[in-house]
Structure 1
């Protein structure tokens, strides 16, 4: 029997990641097999979910991933797990599609988490509002939990404020160790190392669960499935080098799965360790990440920079997303105003900003198909006189388009593509031409 929950709240910052990870670790300590998912485009939270579950984490999004693939991902995981925990994004009803849309479409019960640090009985009113709004959408709210609870007395007050029919699942006290944040969200799990163990211990000590509520949750029934469309091995015989380290960490594991399904061999390397682009590779994938935090170190990685220039000069494909594109510029200017020389494949200066410059779901329409994905960046590109966009991505709903630059076989943009949405497009940009 597999049980499933979508953990959501009224807004960002309510403690969804903390609660999902704490719940996953508690269930695992009880001998349960747990798989976790993240709603929407996100590279950071899945790292914490991966550490908490010790199992692969995938993103779910009705538009970017597609409803059919979301169903398949959940069904595959359900065959191997006792619990499926899906962490929501932003507020429960935020966005189109929202976490609520996904929960209703896939039959996932919702556990509401609310930061109750500055409230008392209003907790019940807020939880009831989220539940009542969900009824109009066919949503089942399984219960509510409170985060940052000050004391047992505070917890009793919050629990007592819930109306009949909305179960109290427990609470998280004010943990002495919090998950640290920076401009794009939480500090990445892989950067915290030993400090993460302290955070897990603090969260476990702060977690008070109502065991009866967990046991009362009925088994989740996987929705009807459609067979996955076949992917032609259009990159058979290709070897794709993928940058993977603290500067290039924003990569969907599903993207690497697609490259392999296309027939390519995937080989990872670390630019930050000054590793050269692997000799003889057919293409290079530079995902996004935090190059701005490592700009001085990257500028000193002459072996990597030289091999990237050589690869480009040989007319071999490079796909550079967001931070990966910034490394392809002539210069990366950090928030302190310092300029750091980069690869110089684009006639541009990449400039880090203090304000969000782009966010939202996007699609890039090409002759080979429409590649779906998202943008989320604080940086901008100041193009020189020789650099002009060759294409523009289009936003799903709000915001402006994002430029796509193609210089030789280099394809660069702030746009993060979700490769499974259009494998033919991916094969086209990585192909030998």
Structure 2
């Protein structure tokens, strides 16, 4: 029997810009619905590792990324159909502003007719909130729309003035859909650092913060509505035809060891699934705990925050020695961004301190207070195009000559170097493995025909 179209309520939580509170609202709403016994599946638009930590904690489910360029339309469609098949509600957190990026969150909403919930930081406005909401609603004709939620209001009186401004928009309150307001409160602020939000697992009160947001949302029109009201946002997600070629089992019988702790946490769940679909067994180890490298055929050192844990990493001699022996034996290592940093000889922090690292790559990392690179990238490998992105605050000073460069997907992007040193391959490039399973398998040592 062929699969059927799956339907369930879905919202895309967007904003006029970054920093408006999209993650707070999405995570709080997911937590509220999950506490009511709903099966909530949350996605994050665009390449992002940090927001999904909060969204997964709130929903109790893994969080995948959705991006029409990174994933491809077929992959996005398949993930949405599967989510609608086994969930009561789908929530999708947007990226940057609603219309920012190519493709944007609005493009995703338009493609699948997913209603947009606009979150606006109203802390420094009143009447302008109406103009802003009206502009978001009407800037692109035909944009599916759910309503407006004001964030960080100062008082009930402030919220009432913002509501009146939104209701005074030319199309009236019914078209704009006032869904309530959230006050600013320290209890549910999500702390940030240089790459974005702090990871949920680092905060002992992370769940309490989400519960506080959920409680506040419960008293808004959005959070107080019943199941029948949610059904007005139901979206039909058609089934996706089987791929012409199933993922080949090119890593069958191989074990891939993946570094995973607070220093190495930038891991797409979809990447792990791709490794398993290729037939690999995935095992974990923690460099911060100085754990020995497990018996394995290949190693993945993902990105993260090694710059925040330099002392512990420098002292992780058992992990370092295991990686050195692995590389000396000619077994493959793929190190991306933070994983590459940890392999270098040393790092210079923003205060000028020079800290020794593992010394398996010739080079020194220099941390900067400003962003060094950001944006989607594609790597044309001999085995297919790997898509991904780059996002880093450091630069690498090395005598190594790049063996390849990625191609930025945007006009003003900057290519990233790919290095090879013995059996180690490394780059600032974060790969989306599902974009080319064959290229991924080759990264981890499989024999793949060019």
Cα distance 1:206–1:150, how it changes in 2: closer, same or farther (>3 A)? farther
Report which structure shows greater RCO (CA 8 Å, sep ≥6): 2
**Corresponding residue for residue 192 of structure 2:** 181
Q: Deviations 1:260-307 (Å, cap 9, x if unpaired)?
A: 11111100110110011113x100000000000001110001100111
Residue 250 of structure 1 contacts residue 288 of structure 1 at CA under 8 Å; is this kept in 2?
A: yes
Q: How does 1:189-200 map to 2 (within 5 A)?
A: 189-192=200-203, 194-200=204-210
Q: Deviations 1:402-429 (Å, cap 9, x if unpaired)?
A: 0000112211000000000011111111
Residue 175 of structure 1 contacts residue 203 of structure 1 at CA under 8 Å; is this kept in 2?
A: no
For this pair of structures, how many residues does the alignment match? 427
Residue 38 of structure 1 contacts residue 89 of structure 1 at CA under 8 Å; is this kept in 2?
A: yes
Q: How does 1:60-99 map to 2 (within 5 A)?
A: 60-99=66-105
- Of 4, 12, 16 in structure 2, the residue corresponding to residue 10 of structure 1 is 16
Q: Deviations 1:227-265 (Å, cap 9, x if unpaired)?
A: 244100011110000000000000111111101111111
Does residue 37 of structure 2 align to residue 31 of structure 1? yes
Between 1:309-318 and 1:163-172, the stretch displaced more is 163-172
- Of 382, 393, 414 in structure 2, the residue corresponding to residue 400 of structure 1 is 414
Q: How does 1:143-162 map to 2 (within 5 A)?
A: 143-162=147-166
Between 1:68-77 and 1:84-93, the stretch displaced more is 68-77
Residue 9 of structure 2 contacts residue 230 of structure 2 at CA under 8 Å; is this kept in 1?
A: no
Does residue 296 of structure 2 align to residue 296 of structure 1? no
Displacement of 1:212: 4.4
Does residue 64 of structure 2 align to residue 46 of structure 1? no
**Corresponding residue for residue 277 of structure 2:** 261
Unaligned runs of 5+ in 1: none
Unaligned runs of 5+ in 2: 1-6
Does residue 266 of structure 2 align to residue 250 of structure 1? yes
**Corresponding residue for residue 140 of structure 1:** 144
Distance 1:107 1:227 in 2: 23
- Aligned-partner SS, 1:361: strand
Q: CA RMSD in A?
A: 1.4
Q: Deviations 1:371-412 (Å, cap 9, x if unpaired)?
A: 00000000110013xx11110001001221000001122110
Q: Deviations 1:322-354 (Å, cap 9, x if unpaired)?
A: 000001111122222222222222210011111
Displacement of 1:15: 0.2
Q: TM-score, normalised by structure 1?
A: 0.96
Distance 2:88 2:225 in 1: 17
**Corresponding residue for residue 380 of structure 1:** 395
Q: TM-score, normalised by structure 2?
A: 0.92
Residue 8 of structure 2 contacts residue 231 of structure 2 at CA under 8 Å; is this kept in 1?
A: no
**Corresponding residue for residue 403 of structure 2:** 390
Displacement of 1:366: 1.3
